[in-house]
């Protein structure tokens, strides 16, 4: 995994603290953020796919380099060879 530094409002940190720890839904803030980012990426990539299917008449530019893999399982194992991934191709957003 890579380390990413993010600045968030104090209110976000306070809300995350309520969801983490011994009594929380997530063991740590890092795990909560990983789950939130994964869910956001899956949602956005599904929306991009729906937009591309909506307007098939217009050509959509894609690059083979614009492929992203999202882990499906929530294992915190560092061995990515055993993890399951869903592969998405990022497409250009359509202008309406």
Work out the number of other CB atoms within 10 angstroms of the CB of residue 30.
13
Q: Is residue 2 part of a domain?
A: no
Give the domain extent around 44.
10-89
CB 66 within 8 A of CB 92: no
Helices (H) then strands (E): counts for the chain: 2, 2
The token pair at 64 is 């083979």
Q: Is residue 3 part of a domain?
A: no
Q: Which residues pair with 86 in a beta bridge?
A: 70
- Convert the pLDDT of each residue in 10-57 to its tens digit: 999 999 999 999 889 999 999 999 999 999 999 888 887 777 665 554
pLDDT at 58: 45
Q: Is residue 1 part of a domain?
A: no
pTM for this predicted structure: 0.54
Q: Is residue 95 part of a domain?
A: no
Q: Is residue 34 part of a domain?
A: yes
Q: How many domains does the chain have?
A: 1
Helix (H, G, I), strand (E, B) or coil at 32: helix
């Amino acid at each position: 995994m890579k380390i990413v530094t993010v600045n968030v409002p104090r209110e976000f940190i306070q809300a995350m603290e309520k969801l983490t720890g011994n009594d929380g839904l997530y063991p740590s803030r890092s795990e909560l953020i990983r789950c939130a980012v994964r869910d956001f990426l899956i949602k956005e990539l599904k929306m991009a796919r729906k937009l591309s299917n909506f307007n098939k008449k217009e050509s959509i530019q894609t690059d083979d380099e614009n492929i992203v893999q999202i882990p499906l399982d929530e294992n915190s194992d560092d061995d990515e060879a055993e993890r399951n991934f869903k592969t998405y191709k990022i497409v250009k957003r359509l202008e309406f």
